[in-house]
């Protein structure tokens, strides 16, 4: 006799059906789909995926691209990897696909939600963390503050910091036991302080002076967060994004007041550091924004300060007076821009300046050539303008090559918003695509067999395969290209020129190698010590 409806609906039967369905879903998710049903199954897949984390932890613990570089050498330019819970993800360094993802069809490839949440936890809900129409409107509102006229008018602020840093280095070397032998100094620490001071001046008209103040609260907060950054900690943040409301809670004042709860387990120590440092940075940022808003009320536009945030606040005021229905950033959104400027604006340039000095320390010929180029210019004018520095050919080569090999942000991601083809590869809707920038920038198909070597001269004779938009993606391209690229390059040029004109740089010890650490941004595990001598 067939079972009746009442038999089927008995609790024991419902429990059995639920168990069978659950087991089937597990088999489908972890066995059937990846092995037999996935449209990506024909792509080469590296071994070693874990059941729950897939390849994610291996990628995030990577030395800024080392593992992914090995995979692309072994398996090709486009491959499949397993994401969390065996989700299908892709990695590609294929120039044709990059052009489609970041350029031609950029509207179909957005930043995935989990990445936006992680960026928001680090840099606020600013330009880095938003997507779609909100990103377009926000970028349009911010573009005037990054005009060439504004940026070139701020060059003197760079020198206010670099002059002080040069003097401090000279004092430290002079006071060392053997000045002629120079002094081993933690380069990243000093570059981070200097670039923070520069972004505070150019971005907010605020004199942080962390170079001369060893206990600057803002610098300490960023230093604390930087030290705690790592691939495994980034993985913790990514998994936290899976919990509804968790990222909002992390940024709340309630969480800050109860942060001691995070001391009970070593696993949560990173979250405590993040909560504490983010709170400190946010409180200082609120004061900076409050000052700018007050200035916009009391000071005429023609007399206003020329820092970026002052310009944005005054522009918002003018737009609202002209048309109250136009898009304008709220005070909260403006605060998030402050957090973005401070965090991304100084960290990336600090990494690039450190990487440049490290590279030159290991290439004395290039270092000498650069010194011979910049010294006469600085002797003639200690504070050259933007065009003068931009016209220095070898300086331009050194900076371009540094940014190519050491992109401060080593990886980006996109998610397919609809099913599409990349070449002959069917990419299902929802597929996350990793863009390993450090590997893309050193693609041997573009740059040749010496692609991974620091060779500034390659920029004097670019290879035929070079594409100015997709061969070096340090600042990305398309709608999400870095709005502060020109500002960052100006800062890197001036910092490197001043350092090389006044000091020689050598490895701190024989056999020294760059100890890189992955994460949201690349970093140096040991702070990159170098031996610094006066010229």
Binding site per annotation, positions for heme: 482
User: Tokens for 212?
Assistant: 């001369």
- The number of helices, as runs of H, and strands, as runs of E, in the chain is 23, 12
Helix (H) or strand (E) holding 256: helix 253-257
| 455 to 7, 375, 410, 495: CA distances (angstroms) | 76, 21, 19, 20
81 and 45 in contact (C-beta within 8 Å)? yes
296 and 313 in contact (C-beta within 8 Å)? yes
Q: Which of 169, 84, 120 is nearest to 500 (CA)?
A: 169
Cross-strand bridge partners of residue 531: 184, 506
Residue position matching structure tokens 């100015």? 468
User: Tokens for 30?
Assistant: 């972890």
Using CA atoms in the order 71, 74, 80, 82, what is the torsion angle rounded to 10 degrees?
Answer: -50
Do β-strands 516-517 and 78-82 pair in parallel, antiparallel, or remain unpaired? unpaired
**Alpha-carbon distance 385 to 17, whole Å?**
74
User: Tokens for 287?
Assistant: 């004061």
**Alpha-carbon distance 456 to 352, whole Å?**
15
The maximal CA–CA distance of the chain, rounded, in angstroms, is 102
Q: At what angle are helices 132-142 and 308-322 packed, to 10 degrees?
A: 100
**Alpha-carbon distance 132 to 130, whole Å?**
7
Residue position matching structure tokens 């006066």? 534
**Alpha-carbon distance 218 to 288, whole Å?**
12
Do β-strands 516-517 and 523-524 pair in parallel, antiparallel, or remain unpaired? antiparallel
The DSSP symbol for 106 reads G
């Amino acid at each position: 006799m067939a079972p009746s409806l009442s038999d089927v609906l008995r609790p024991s039967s419902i429990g059995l059906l639920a168990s069978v369905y659950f087991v089937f879903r597990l088999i489908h998710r972890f066995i059937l789909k990846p092995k037999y049903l996935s449209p990506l199954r024909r792509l080469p897949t590296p071994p070693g995926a874990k059941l729950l984390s897939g390849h994610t932890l291996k990628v995030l613990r990577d030395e800024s691209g080392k593992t992914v570089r090995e995979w692309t050498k072994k398996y090709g330019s486009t491959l499949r990897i397993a994401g969390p819970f065996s989700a299908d993800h892709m990695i590609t360094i294929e120039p044709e696909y990059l052009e489609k993802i970041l350029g031609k069809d950029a509207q179909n490839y957005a930043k995935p939600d989990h990445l936006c949440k992680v960026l928001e936890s680090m840099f606020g809900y600013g330009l880095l963390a938003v997507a779609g129409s909100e990103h377009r409107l926000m970028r349009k509102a911010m573009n005037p503050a990054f005009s060439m006229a504004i940026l070139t008018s701020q060059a003197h602020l760079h020198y206010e910091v670099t002059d002080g840093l040069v003097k401090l280095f000279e004092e430290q070397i002079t006071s060392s036991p053997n000045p002629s032998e120079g002094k081993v100094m933690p380069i990243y620490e000093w570059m981070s302080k200097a670039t923070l001071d520069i972004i505070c001046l150019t971005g907010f008209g605020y004199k942080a002076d962390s170079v001369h103040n060893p206990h600057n609260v803002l610098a300490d907060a960023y230093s604390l967060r930087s030290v705690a950054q790592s691939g495994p900690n980034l993985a913790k943040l990514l998994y936290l994004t899976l919990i509804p409301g968790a990222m909002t809670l992390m940024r709340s004042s309630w969480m800050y007041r109860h942060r001691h709860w995070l001391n009970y387990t070593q696993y949560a120590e990173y979250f405590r550091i993040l909560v504490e440092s983010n709170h400190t940075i946010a409180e200082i940022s609120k004061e900076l924004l409050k000052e700018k808003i007050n200035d916009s009320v009391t000071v005429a536009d023609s007399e206003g300060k020329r820092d970026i945030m002052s310009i944005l606040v005054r522009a918002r005021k003018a737009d609202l007076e002209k048309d109250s229905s136009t898009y304008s950033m709220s005070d909260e959104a403006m605060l998030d821009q402050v957090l973005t400027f401070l965090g991304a604006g100084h960290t990336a340039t600090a990494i690039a300046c450190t990487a440049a000095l490290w590279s030159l320390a290991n290439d004395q010929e290039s270092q000498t050539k650069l010194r011979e180029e910049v010294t006469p210019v600085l002797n003639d004018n200690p504070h050259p303008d933007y065009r003068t520095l931009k016209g220095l050919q070898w300086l331009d080569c050194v900076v371009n090559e540094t940014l190519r090999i050491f992109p401060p942000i080593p990886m980006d991601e996109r998610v397919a918003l609809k099913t599409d083809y990349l070449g002959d590869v069917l990419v299902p809707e929802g597929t996350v695509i990793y863009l390993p920038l450090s590997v893309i920038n050193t693609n041997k198909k573009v740059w040749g067999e010496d692609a991974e070597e620091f060779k500034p001269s390659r920029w004097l004779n670019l290879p035929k395969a070079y594409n100015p938009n997709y061969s070096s993606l340090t600042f990305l391209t398309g709608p999400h290209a870095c709005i502060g690229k020109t500002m960052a390059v100006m800062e890197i040029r001036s910092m490197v020129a001043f350092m090389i004109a006044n000091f020689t740089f050598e490895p701190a010890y024989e056999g020294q190698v760059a100890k890189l650490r992955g994460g949201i941004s690349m970093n140096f595990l040991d702070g990159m010590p170098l031996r610094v001598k006066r010229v």
